[in-house]
Homo-oligomer: A and B are copies of this chain.
Amino acid sequence: MLSAILLTVFALAAQAEPATVASVESPGHVLRVSLQLDGGRPSYTVERFGETVVAPSQLGFQLRNGRLDRDFVLLDQSASNHDETWEQPWGERRYVRNRYNALTVRLAERGGLKRRLDVEFRVYDDGLGFRYRFPEQASMREAVIDDELTEFAIAPESTAWWIPAGEPIHYEYLYRRTPLDEVPLAHTPLTLRSRDGLHVAIHEAALVDYAGMWLRRTEGQRLRAQLSPSAEGWKVRRALPFDTPWRTLQIADRAGGLVESDLILNLNEPNVLGDVGWVHPAKYVGVWWSMHLDQQSWATGPRHAATTANTKRYIDFAAAHGFRGVLVEGWNPGWDGDWVGNGYAFDFTRPTPDFDIEALSAYAAKKGVHLIGHHETGCAIEHYEDQLDAALDLYARLGVDTFKTGYVCDDGQVDRRNPAGGPLWREWHDGQFMARHHLKVVQEAARRHLSVNAHEPIKDTGLRRTYPNWLSREGARGMEYNAWGQPPNPPAHEVDLVFTRLLSGPMDYTPGILSLKGRGGQPIPSTLARQLALYVTIYSPIQMAADLPEHYERHREAFRFIEDVAVDWDDTRVLNGEVGDYVTIARKDRHSRDWFVGSITDEHGRVLPIDLSFLEPGVRYRAEIYRDGDTADYRSNPFAFVRETREVGSADRLELKLAPGGGEAIRFVPLGPARYHGKVTAPRPRWGDEQIFPEQQCACGGDDAFC
């Protein structure tokens, strides 16, 4: 089907004008990417419907042995088109279409070392990726990259949502909203909205054995890649041949179009782990929040959270309410001193004396529950790596098949041994060193059929496609800031996350704080219903019910949604949304016919009508609605809350009314003739079935297998 690609080979004109030497259009003729050689200097442009989105932007490298960005000639180019659909083992949707046109250009220096560099473009209707290939060549065995010179010169005047790069608290910032031409140095995903409503997100895909890309503004709306530093001076050192990560632009008219894009996943390599039935998307509970509230401690002693007795209580709670996992942080020695950025006391191979890990994992197994492991490194990376085999073997033996890692440093940098024996090197959390480390942990975990949830991680670039045991991660300002943050996360933050951080992949935000109080009673900027909506709006295949069991007992009516909500999806649709303002997402459970909707707003109340077209036509559903009460307000009346049920169909429209700082969560359960052909899990008894929701008993028809 090469004929479908408009591929133009231009004569190499020896003139001053930048000459387009190759170009490729997206399959639906929406985007066109062109490569120019301007006196031998390569640059690219992106047009959308004939209008410039990315003005001529440089390509190339600053290598240790000289710039690799000029004096190029085009050796050849090749084009191809692709259209395949692949299945995710878990994710936002089951089937992902990967439809793009590709263009690879091979460049060579005209003189000097005659070094070679390839650039590969993949152009989709909703965005593009490009990467460099350093091909095998006689004059270069190894690339020592001092920096990448890739530019992104954004043409339409845009507003940016961004967090600063090169600062101590990696990724954990509130998003700034500024004109793009006021951004200094930012992490990706960097999200833009033009004056005329075009949305663009710049990010990268498949960050493997390379340094993470920051974006520094050089002038106007021109951004340049700045690779995360390395202690050794260069940013990246690699033997040839190799490919860089993909530099990506997602481009959509609707803000929701960014969220629905599968570009990042599509640009990653397929699953290399084979059957990953041992990876378990699931909900979990744990002692985490009690420590952030400062009611219990990671350290041993009278307030130690990770005790046998306390953990048993959580296992019982998990079993009673259908949670698969119980996360126990502080289970191992090393927490009693000052461990932040100094994790050399951590022992990952044995528990503290008051935590009987053998008995607890057996007790959990009997109840169908799994302990979730925890490895806080305190940024002593190689100290952790030294114990990694033994640590993971222990988890594998005990059925602890998912574990959380932690990289809490005091300055955004981790320790690395100095091979010369001098003072420790410090490495950025997203440099080449840490890119290698994180992948090593994931690969070692995969060998033992364990899954990883990294906190204070390197950013997500879609590697979950290749390694589906990389389940989730943090990498943004999470719920813990609502325990002790000054300020806590304002409502707009959780909307911003959807259109920025979450474009990169799932986030373990740990929602569900129904008590709406942080440490010392600090109010959480949220209504009650909003805490439920977060389970749908913030995608993660593992979701924590983060509050204390005793708090859930006080909010049984709302807690039902947390019990019921799915974590693995057949399909996902963004029903509406504006960056920083509000968002509504519908997702279909992968293991039932249920649909779930979550909607959240910023500090302003909203009225948002939604069509229910995602429901199966001709089927009636019971909508279990968890909404803000009429007088709810996150500042003054956060607990005003209504649970109500309605019968609806796909032709109906619902009007969501979100209070300031509020949200709404809905479960849609099909009624009437079951047409379901998948796995049905037996209903489990739940709190309050009889007393609280008598209408649920009679809303189900006689032929409904779900009642």
Q: Which residues of A contact B (CB under 8 A)?
A: 28-30, 48-51, 125-126, 196-198, 252-254, 257, 260, 573, 576, 578, 580-582, 602, 604-609, 611-614, 616-618, 630-631, 633, 636, 649-651, 655, 657, 659-660
Contacts and interface: CB of A to CB of B under 8 A. Distances in A.
Contact of A650 (B29, B254, B651): B651
B607 A30 contact: yes
A602 B156 CA distance: 14
Nearest to A48: B605
B650 A253 contact: no
Nearest to A198: B604
A641 B252 CA distance: 23
Contact of A196 (B28, B581, B612, B630): B581
B30 A657 contact: yes
A649 B617 contact: yes
A659 B28 CA distance: 12
A566 to B, nearest CB: 20
12 contacts: A29-B630, A49-B633, A49-B659, A50-B605, A50-B660, A125-B607, A253-B581, A254-B609, A257-B609, A612-B613, A617-B649, A617-B651
A197 B50 contact: no
Contacts of A602: 196
A631 B32 CA distance: 12
A253 B607 contact: yes
B616 A253 contact: no
Number of identical protomers: 2
Nearest to A661: B49
Nearest to A25: B630
A190 to B, nearest CB: 20
Query: What are the 9 closest A-B residue pairs judged by CB atoms, nearest first?
Result: A49-B605, A613-B613, A617-B617, A29-B630, A197-B581, A611-B613, A618-B618, A253-B606, A197-B578
Nearest to A635: B50
A657 B28 contact: yes
A616 B651 contact: yes
A125 B606 CA distance: 11
Contacts of A573: 611
Contacts of A660: 49-51
Given A578-B197, A613-B651, A616-B651, A252 B607 contact: yes
A17 to B, nearest CB: 20
Contacts of A48: 604-605
A605 B50 CA distance: 8
Nearest to A630: B29
B51 A604 contact: yes
A609 B649 CA distance: 21
A316 to B, nearest CB: 41
A604 B52 CA distance: 10
Contacts of A606: 49, 253
A50 B582 contact: no
A624 to B, nearest CB: 20
Contacts of A253: 581-582, 606-608
B605 A30 contact: yes
B581 A631 contact: no
Contacts of A616: 651
Contacts of A611: 573, 611, 613-614
Contacts of A659: 49
Contact of A604 (B49, B254, B618): B49
Contacts of A197: 578, 581-582, 604
A207 to B, nearest CB: 28
A258 to B, nearest CB: 12
A481 to B, nearest CB: 22
A650 B29 CA distance: 27
A26 B560 CA distance: 31
A650 B617 contact: yes
B608 A254 contact: yes
Which of A253, A578, A611 counts the most B-chain CB atoms under 10 A from its CB? A253
Given A28-B630, A253-B607, 20 more contacts: A30-B605, A48-B605, A49-B604, A49-B633, A49-B659, A126-B607, A196-B581, A197-B604, A198-B604, A252-B607, A253-B581, A253-B606, A254-B609, A257-B607, A573-B611, A611-B613, A617-B618, A617-B649, A617-B650, A650-B650
Contacts of A618: 617-618
A707 to B, nearest CB: 23
Nearest to A605: B49
